[in-house]
Amino acid sequence: MSGAQIGELRRVVAANVRRLRKAKGLSQEAFADDCGLHRTYIGAIERAERNVSIDNIERLAGALAVPGYELLKP
Amino acid sequence: MSGAQIGELRRVVAANVRRLRKAKGLSQEAFADDCGLHRTYIGAIERAERNVSIDNIERLAGALAVPGYELLKP
């Protein structure tokens, strides 16, 4: 079992989404519009509060113009 | 919006999980035990039927001994 450390990967995603969104000069609201997601959901992702699904990783990565796996890279 | 292609990333995850599981010589059942997930859930992931969450990507990757982002790499 690998249960002990679960939650680390969503912190990686949180940090990457925030970093890449800011690098594009986008507010959470503008970025949420680009993703087709809600602003409060983006905020929760960036605080590592949400267990994001792979389909939404794809939406976030698409709006950031990076491959999906880049959002999971430490 | 990037909605047109949504679903491609879960097909990438499906193929990677199946490939890496087989490379370890594990049945879906044995692998499910290693992940702490159900055998039918592993089957559904490998058929790209499930919108896997990032916490479960972390569990799958942990059991396969690869970094989480490897499961999203085409």
Q: Which domains does chain B have, with CATH numbers?
A: 3-66 (1.10.260.40)
Min Cα–Cα distance to chain A from B56, Å: 8
Interface test mutation site (partner B, options A54, A55, A66, A73, max chain B beta carbons within 10 A)? A54
Residue B37 touches partner A, C-beta closer than 8 Å: no
What DSSP assignment string belongs to B6-71?
A: TTHHHHHHHHHHHHHHHHTT--HHHHHHHHTS-HHHHHHHHTT-S--BHHHHHHHHHHHTS-GGGG
Mean pLDDT per block of 10 residues along chain A (74 residues) reads: 75 98 98 96 98 98 98 98
Q: Note the pTM of the prediction, 2 decimals.
A: 0.92
With beta carbons under 8 A apart, name residues in chain B contacting A34: 1
Can you tell me the ipTM of this complex?
Answer: 0.91
